[in-house]
Amino acid sequence: MSTALDEAALRRVLARPRLARVLAALDAPGEETRLVGGAVRDALLGRPVADIDLATTLLPEAVVARAGAAGLKPVPTGIAHGTVTVVAEGEPFEVTTLREDIETDGRHAVVRFGRDFSRDAARRDFTVNALSVTPDGRVHDTVGGLDDLAAARVRFIGEARQRIREDYLRVLRFFRFHARYGAGDPDPEGLAAAIEARDGLAQLSRERVRGELLKLLVAPGAPAVTAILSWTGLLQRLIGGVGDLGRLARLAAAEVEVGVEADPVRRLAALALRSSVDADRLREHLRLSKAEHARLIAFAGAEAALHGALAPLAPADVRRLVAVHGAGALSDAALVLTGEKRPELTPEAGEALARFAAGAEPVPVLPVTGAALVAAGAPPGRALGRGLAAARRAWLAEGCPTDAAAKARLRALALAAAGGTPEDAVRSPHPKS
């Protein structure tokens, strides 16, 4: 496989007015500044370029001075490590002074500033990430990155084992970059080195592992690469259990079929979650955020409800399930379960779920509140809870109505259950489930 590189797209990136302003501000006699890394790689592949990084021979203090003199805003985001963020009309550009490694320990590197672009390129991880381009559009490649990019090959610079020993996160980056940019089998030397270095993953913070894994899961080649992680034993180290490779592959195909963007938490759920216990395990292993953990808990409940549905689901069933589990969790679970025996949704139920997921139809909410019941005479405390629970059971059984008549009927039922009204206040009949 060979991919034609898009030099015209690279020239269009260089022609961006804000980037041109920054490059002009950093243009000084005897100094050089180049576009580097991912922006060069993605432009040559014809992919969108968002974040732009620059490398320069200028020292950080000179970058700050020249940017300020040109009317730009320099922000010393990592000045001790040589990085200054230069903001041009609201757009940030990271400008980093060339560096050379002095010492590495697998997690951190001691560096010094340099002036040699080839030495700076040599300290990067993969050949496709070590390309640089001058403001006039000349691409510099000292490590074979152009050939690897055209061949859709992810390859370490130099000796793979040494590169990984410098930072064990490169084990995961190797698989992530192959999932995004590679084709066919991974580079044999890189794969062997990654497997050999698997114990080094224990040295990494779980937050760094989480970041790489979630990015990998939404890459185009995620199902195939995750299968490789599984048979090498790396996946089990990452998630603390066995992954469901079939579910992940079916989900990826379903997302493409229905035109839904890949979502990292949904894909993690497909791969590694069958119950709320799994959600807790993943939170611990990956240091998931509270929001991510909450999504997994909600997904687990929705998945259990859908997978346990023995009869085909009708729109009324979907309405109840959405009220209990939320539209997002139910939609995610239904998509993950694509191709499995259950659930079975009628066409109308599928359309109803799509409306809820898109926000075209509001998620029904119990039309009775605790505050309203107290105001109507219900005693606070456990009795109030019993009243609300009774109203919610009836509401769900009725298909989650929200009209005025339903509100009055459910309010009376709740008050009676809470001991706040006489029995005849709830004698009006309501539909049976």
Q: What is the pLDDT of residue 273?
A: 96
| 171: in domain | no
Q: What is the pLDDT of residue 432?
A: 39
| 261: in domain | no
What total of structural domains would you count in the chain? 2
Q: What is the mean pLDDT of residues 94-113?
A: 72
Average pLDDT, the chain: 92
Residue 400 carries which side chain, given as an amino acid letter? C
| 14: in domain | yes
Q: What is the pLDDT of residue 234?
A: 95
Q: For 76-94, what is each residue's pLDDT tens digit?
A: 988 888 999 999 999 999 9
Q: What is the mean pLDDT of residues 405-411?
A: 93
Q: What is the pLDDT of residue 108?
A: 54
User: Last residue of some domain: 150, 176, 202?
Assistant: 150
Q: For 234-258, what is each residue's pLDDT tens digit?
A: 999 999 999 999 999 999 999 999 9
User: Last residue of some domain: 99, 130, 150?
Assistant: 150
What are the phi and psi torsion angles at 124 (to 5°)?
Answer: -80, 175
Greatest distance between any 2 Cα atoms in the chain: 93
| 33: in domain | yes
Q: Which of 106, 120, 101 is nearest to 34 (CA)?
A: 120
Q: Which two tokens stand for residue 138?
A: 């000349």
Q: Which two tokens stand for residue 223?
A: 């199902």
| 90: in domain | yes
Give the confidence band of 104 by pLDDT, cuts at 50, 70, 90.
low
Q: 109-113 and 83-88 as β-strands: parallel, antiparallel, unpaired? A: unpaired
- Top pLDDT among 103 and 328 is at 328
85 neighbors 77 (Cβ within 8 angstroms): yes
Q: Which residues span the domain enclosing 85? A: 7-150
C-alpha distance across the termini of the chain, in Å: 59
62 neighbors 78 (Cβ within 8 angstroms): no
Q: Which of 72, 44, 63, 16 is nearest to 133 (CA)?
A: 44
CA–CA distance, 281 with 224 (Å, rounded to integer): 24
Q: Which two tokens stand for residue 145?
A: 């990155």
Please provide the DSSP assignment of 44-56 as one string: HTT------EEEE
Q: What is the pLDDT of residue 342?
A: 86
Q: Which of 206, 268, 220 is nearest to 241 (CA)?
A: 268
Q: Which of 240, 211, 242, 202 is nearest to 226 (CA)?
A: 242
Which SS3 state, helix, strand or coil, does residue 15 take?
coil
Give the confidence band of 1 by pLDDT, cuts at 50, 70, 90.
low
Contacts of 386 (CB under 8 A, 6+ apart): 417, 418
User: Last residue of some domain: 84, 119, 150?
Assistant: 150
Which SS3 state, helix, strand or coil, does residue 287 take?
coil
Which SS3 state, helix, strand or coil, does residue 294 take?
helix
Alpha helices of 16-134 — where are they, by DSSP H?
17-25, 38-44, 60-69, 117-122
CA–CA distance, 250 with 248 (Å, rounded to integer): 6
Q: What is the mean pLDDT of residues 26-50?
A: 95
Asked if the model's pLDDT at residue 428 lies above 70, the reply is: no
How many CB atoms lie under 10 A from the CB of residue 141?
A: 19
Q: What is the pLDDT of residue 142?
A: 95
Among residues of the chain, what percentage have pLDDT more than 70? Answer: 94
Q: What is the pLDDT of residue 112?
A: 79
Asked if the model's pLDDT at residue 260 lies above 90, the reply is: yes
Q: For 381-405, what is each residue's pLDDT tens digit?
A: 899 999 999 999 999 999 999 999 9
Asked if the model's pLDDT at residue 418 lies above 90, the reply is: no
Nearest 10 degrees: Cα torsion 331, 333, 334, 337: 160
CATH code of the domain containing 68: 3.30.460.10
Q: Which two tokens stand for residue 343?
A: 């659930």
85 neighbors 70 (Cβ within 8 angstroms): no
Give the confidence band of 433 by pLDDT, cuts at 50, 70, 90.
very low
Asked if the model's pLDDT at residue 430 lies above 90, the reply is: no
Q: What is the pLDDT of residue 3?
A: 78
Q: What is the mean pLDDT of residues 341-353?
A: 93
Lowest mean pLDDT segment, chosen from 17-21, 228-232, 338-342, 346-350: 338-342
Q: What is the pLDDT of residue 347?
A: 93
Which SS3 state, helix, strand or coil, does residue 160 take?
helix
Give the confidence band of 195 by pLDDT, cuts at 50, 70, 90.
very high
Q: What is the pLDDT of residue 110?
A: 60
| 353: in domain | no
Q: For 274-307, what is each residue's pLDDT tens digit?
A: 999 999 999 999 999 999 999 999 999 999 999 9
Q: What is the pLDDT of residue 100?
A: 79
Q: What is the pLDDT of residue 423?
A: 42
Give the confidence band of 379 by pLDDT, cuts at 50, 70, 90.
confident
Give the confidence band of 424 by pLDDT, cuts at 50, 70, 90.
very low
Angle value at C-alpha 67, between 65 and 69, nearest 5 degrees = 70
Asked if the model's pLDDT at residue 222 lies above 90, the reply is: yes
